[in-house]
Structures are given as C-alpha cells and as structure tokens.
Amino acid sequence: MRTQILQLLRAHSGQYISGEDLSRMLAVSRTAIWKHIQSLKNEGYAIEAHPRLGYTLRQAPDLLSPKEIESCLHSHSLGRQIHYFSDVGSTNNEAKKIAADGCPEGTIVVAEAQTVGRGRLSRGWFSPYGKGIWLSVVLRPPFQPQQAPKCTLMAAVAVTKAIRSFCDVPCGIKWPNDILYEGKKLVGILTEMSAEMDAINYIVIGMGVNVNTSAEEFPPELAEIATSILAVKNEPVSRLQLLCRILAELELIYQQVIREGFAPVLEEWKTLSVTLGQAVNVIGPDEQYSGTAVTIDEDGALLVETDMGLRKVIAGDVSIRPQAAGNQQSANNS
C-alpha cells in the first residue's frame, strides 16, 4: 500500500493530492491513508500535509529500498523480487544462498553497505553506506556452463551504457571485469556460477558501482586507483535512477543474448573497451609477460600480441601498462 501511495504522490509531483482522492483510488479509508503517510514519514520521506489540499512529496530519502526501486523500475523481470539490506557482508553471498533455495530469475540483492564486499581474486571492495550501488542479480540462463564467463562482459556492456547515457560519463571497459574513467576504477563486476556438467543452475552477477563517494572518502590505498561518478561530475547522482537504468540495460542485453547468442554483445564490448590496442601486462599465477591487447575471441578471452606471437588470456589479471612514469595508474586491483 505504501508503495502505491508513493507512486501516486510522485505522479502528482509538485502538486497536492487529497486524502479523499487517495482513499478513493486505493479503495481504503482515509484513516488508513493517514497511517501509511505517517509510516512513510518515519522512514524519512518528507511528505507535507495541508488540511485543505492534501499531501505532497517534497523529498525522498536516498535509499535503495524496495519501495524506491519499485517506484522507478523499467525492467520486466530483473528487480521484480528484491532482497534489501541496510548492511550485509556481501550481496553475492546472499544472492548465492537465495539462488540455491530456488529464487526466481531476475531476483536482486541490494545493500546500502557491504562489510566484506569482494572483487575478483578475493580482493576487497570498498562499499560505504549510501554511497554506491552494491548489487547482485540472479540469472538462470539456458546456455552451456562454458559460456558463463561471457556474462561478465555482458554485464560490463550494460553498466557502461547505463553510466554513459544517464550520467554522461565517458567510461570504458577494462578486460575482464572493470569499468574505468581516465584509468581509475568506477565499477567492478564479479560473476559466480553453480552448474552441473551440461547445465547452469544459476549465475550471480555482482556489481559494485562507486556513485557518490567523494575523493576524500576513499582509503589511502585506493585514492590513486579508484574514482566515483561524484568525483568525475562534481555533483551527486541519483543512485536509484542509475540502478534502475542498469537493470533495464542488463535485461535488454540478456534477452538479446538468449535470442542471438553472445556475438553482438562481444562486438559492442569491443567498441567500449579501453584495453584493446593498449600495451598490457599479463599477470598470471605462473608467469608474467607483456604485449599489446589485440581483440577478444568468441569465448571472451583476450588475445595479446607478444614478441613470442599471439597469446590467449583466459585467466589471470591484466593491467594497462603506464605509457610514461607516473602518467597512468595501474588498474589491476579488480
């Protein structure tokens, strides 16, 4: 009921809507409307009441609560079931639990803060309260397990397009799982899977988006390698609107993959890449070498031209080599 009241108040933005009209439209008593309005006020919604005019919404709290997400969601399946936490260890860990219990595809886990957020290779992810989008999405795709790693590339395309269109920030994708702006990390993506030999049980795509973290708030060890949309634009951005844009973009691209396969997405990834054409260091568990990132193949692997010929990079960490000392920061803290 409170979600419906919020939707009506937003639909009459800048205007008053009477308790009588709300009562009639929602088929409840005016007393019930008043009680729900009081509850919304207690949750941080600035709702002004006028004895003759009714109610108007002046300001909503900067939260990614289910009521807020439902009020602006444009996707049809992603985000229709929401597990929300004020703070949580890791949204990916929670998403894997509910996925194993059979939650429907498109279920999301979102938190205001993470205490043990994770990136690739078990690295930590700075996830302060109310400053970013800490999100995991559960998918149950029909394709084979060997195609699952390409879901990271799919998500990177979706998030990059959402940030570019909504925030007007010309970010790009670093293979395999980061989104950068001028060499600094804006977004990290972590994809995890449960599968049988020939079928995927579920895929969880975790995304950490640095939205409204100020440059001064990043820990010293991240200050030179991480950034946020706020730091780039010098103004805060609606986390809620960006989250809903990300879900809409991801749903469109995911549906395209199911219809047409990954080939179109991989081509789009190439146009958004900041890795291709760059000198890179390939840091693996047993070796390290340098070369030029040429392209990605149909499996999403990075092809690197080295002095010893073309190398295919499937696992390991790739960092963009500085072009001059101190000129470009390494971005290998995925």
131 labelled ligand-binding: no
177 labelled ligand-binding: no
User: What distance in Å separates the CA atoms of residue 92 and residue 90, rounded to the nearest whole number?
Assistant: 5
Q: Which of 71, 73, 115 is nearest to 91 (CA)?
A: 115
CB-based contact 332:319 (threshold 8 Å): yes
Those residues with Cβ within 8 angstroms of residue 85's Cβ, 6 or more apart along the chain or in another chain: 91, 94, 109, 110, 111, 112
Collapsing DSSP to helix, strand or coil, 266 comes out as helix
User: DSSP letter at 53?
Assistant: T
Residue 46 corresponds to which amino acid? A
Q: Which of 151, 252, 255, 157 is nearest to 203 (CA)?
A: 151
90 labelled ligand-binding: yes
278 labelled ligand-binding: no
13 labelled ligand-binding: no
120 labelled ligand-binding: yes
Q: Which of 43, 131, 140, 138 is nearest to 91 (CA)?
A: 138
Residue by residue, DSSP assigns 4-52 as HHHHHHHHTTTS-B-HHHHHHHHTS-HHHHHHHHHHHHHTT-EEEEETT
The annotated binding site is made up of 90-92, 114, 118-120, 185
In the annotated binding site for biotin, the residues are: 90-92, 114, 118-120, 185
